[in-house]
Structure 1
């Protein structure tokens, strides 16, 4: 079974029950808004349907660099897995929201609110809460799909857009190179067990069994299987929300998808797409398809890197993103 883009390794698991903007902020050299500087004391924001959602603020409050809003994937995974994105929080603030039903954010009263266009509307509410007229946005995995939906709806709000290891379901194609990458690593000692686990996940329903299988299959998502990767992978089973994950594409029909793609063609901010040549979850071709959906986007593949570049090679990932964010 090939891993499914935008659902991570957990894609094989079935749906188990379980403010007004201030004057321009976010341009290069400006200070974060007062709302951002005070966010640690106000870690919740009200979104368009009056739901109160949680977010975290990482990094120095006195940084002169504009903040970066970071969206987690999964879909339906707690944003804690992003950590500080390999040290990106050293010199700028990262604003990391918990999507509905994940982390400290409550479950959605209406399951339709888990669909990614609605999650993008939550991002717009967060922007207004923080008082950012324009800002830089990063999305990983399925979070990159939310980021694209936001860009399509609000292109004028973005200064930079970073898409890390995105899937290409929104683009209407699912390349098969993730399976090729996975198969190319069959000589590694973890591969036989991971291969069986990927197959068994298709039929697993017991939550404890699912978590064990996720960890067994996890090496396909990393460039290597050392202690940092093992520790990061060990958190996945507990962080996944089956209901938010199941609702991620709910109600997104073909006209909606085509309208979103049309919106992407109007995005004029710089776009960076990061891929990993050992990404056995979404592969590398998906990133190329995503980049092609924008008028102008740069694809930067990273060598010996999997689906979590900040875990595999933080000293490659961090400077790449920082250079892009600082570029004029």
Structure 2
């Protein structure tokens, strides 16, 4: 597994879908969510590795990367500095960057801190209420599904809050909440929900540093093209705030995938690929600075 050096000298790991193959595929730096979930749950993003070289960092304390030396270095605001070191390690002028869920917090932190180094941004089902004033609507989506006993049990588990006593109990809570993240709870969704373990210590560190008060304002100065992908029935993030997030960016646009929850590459892979292929294709055609 390849290694790069983080901002404080710590060796950090990443997965590379096309290591040393010589294929001329544009690298897409891809950030997992969770927060602090092993990136294995991303898979190959519905076959996206055939179009892009997927470079997937193991964030601090996750997977093969060591736990942060202190909480602040594991925060999403500070880990933007690690992404800048990864860019330098890969020899790229600019990054084509994607994030899912809590990984979009790190992606937007990088965009806010290093806007001149960003070639393009994809935010997949991002939490957005910390950045936009649009009223949250997740509870409305949840209310429509409480007649389903599996969904209702997951909702009850979520309302009880996570057990922070150890990693196993923290992961057990996530597993019990898992049906909330999908528009349906069939075999494919259940299999996907079982992939990717969470790190409790890394999750706590991830939120240990509050971003500056002008975080949203900084995003308004990001000129790179931004695609926000929303699930029509995403009960974790809601819909309206996610769509509104695109308006923060001068070159932002939102795409809503129907009958989809929080994991569009699993639930609606064909629609997900159509949306991403169109966005990435336009970037790759006009911008070669991230190659």
| Shorter-chain TM-score above 0.5 | yes
| 2:120 alignment partner, SS class | strand
Correspondence 1:168 to 2:124 = no
Name the counterpart of 2:266.
Answer: 311
Task: Please give the root-mean-square deviation of Cα atoms over the aligned residues, in Å.
Answer: 2.0
Name the counterpart of 1:246.
Answer: 204
The alpha-carbon distance between structure 1 residues 208 and 126, as it changes in their structure 2 partners (threshold 3 A), is: closer
Correspondence 1:275 to 2:234 = no
TM-fit CA distance, 1:165: 0.6
User: How far apart, CA to CA, are the structure 2 residues paired with 1:166 and 1:184?
Assistant: 21
Correspondence 1:263 to 2:218 = yes
Alpha-carbon displacement from aligned partner over 1:109-167 (angstroms, at most 9, x marks no partner): 12111111111111110000000112310011111111111111221222211000111
Correspondence 1:194 to 2:154 = yes
Q: How does 1:27-106 map to 2 (within 5 A)?
A: 43-59=2-18, 61-106=21-66
| 2:123 alignment partner, SS class | strand
Correspondence 1:156 to 2:116 = yes
Kindly indicate whether the alpha-carbon contact (under 8 Å) linking 1:222 and 1:229 is maintained by their aligned counterparts in 2. yes
TM-fit CA distance, 1:74: 1.3
| 2:103 alignment partner, SS class | helix
The alpha-carbon distance between structure 1 residues 296 and 92, as it changes in their structure 2 partners (threshold 3 A), is: closer
Name the counterpart of 1:234.
Answer: 194
Kindly indicate whether the alpha-carbon contact (under 8 Å) linking 2:171 and 2:198 is maintained by their aligned counterparts in 1. no
User: How far apart, CA to CA, are the structure 2 residues paired with 1:315 and 1:280?
Assistant: 21
User: How far apart, CA to CA, are the structure 2 residues paired with 1:295 and 1:186?
Assistant: 38
Name the counterpart of 2:289.
Answer: none
TM-fit CA distance, 1:225: 0.8
TM-fit CA distance, 1:172: 5.6
Name the counterpart of 2:277.
Answer: 322
| 1:275 alignment partner, SS class | strand
User: How far apart, CA to CA, are the structure 2 residues paired with 1:109 and 1:169?
Assistant: 30
Kindly indicate whether the alpha-carbon contact (under 8 Å) linking 1:200 and 1:213 is maintained by their aligned counterparts in 2. no
TM-fit CA distance, 1:252: 1.4
User: How far apart, CA to CA, are the structure 2 residues paired with 1:208 and 1:291?
Assistant: 36
The alpha-carbon distance between structure 1 residues 183 and 65, as it changes in their structure 2 partners (threshold 3 A), is: same
TM-score (norm 2): 0.90
User: How far apart, CA to CA, are the structure 2 residues paired with 1:230 and 1:295?
Assistant: 38
Name the counterpart of 1:7.
Answer: none
Alpha-carbon displacement from aligned partner over 1:160-195 (angstroms, at most 9, x marks no partner): 110001112441658431121122112334223223
Kindly indicate whether the alpha-carbon contact (under 8 Å) linking 1:221 and 1:278 is maintained by their aligned counterparts in 2. no
| 2:14 alignment partner, SS class | strand
Correspondence 1:132 to 2:92 = yes
| 1:197 alignment partner, SS class | helix
Residue segments in structure 1 that go unaligned for 5+ positions in a row: 1-39
The alpha-carbon distance between structure 1 residues 319 and 49, as it changes in their structure 2 partners (threshold 3 A), is: same
State the number of aligned residues.
282
Name the counterpart of 1:218.
Answer: 178
Name the counterpart of 1:295.
Answer: 250
User: How far apart, CA to CA, are the structure 2 residues paired with 1:77 and 1:271?
Assistant: 24
User: How far apart, CA to CA, are the structure 2 residues paired with 1:203 and 1:77?
Assistant: 16
1:108 aligned residue (63, 68, 75): 68
User: How far apart, CA to CA, are the structure 2 residues paired with 1:206 and 1:134?
Assistant: 39
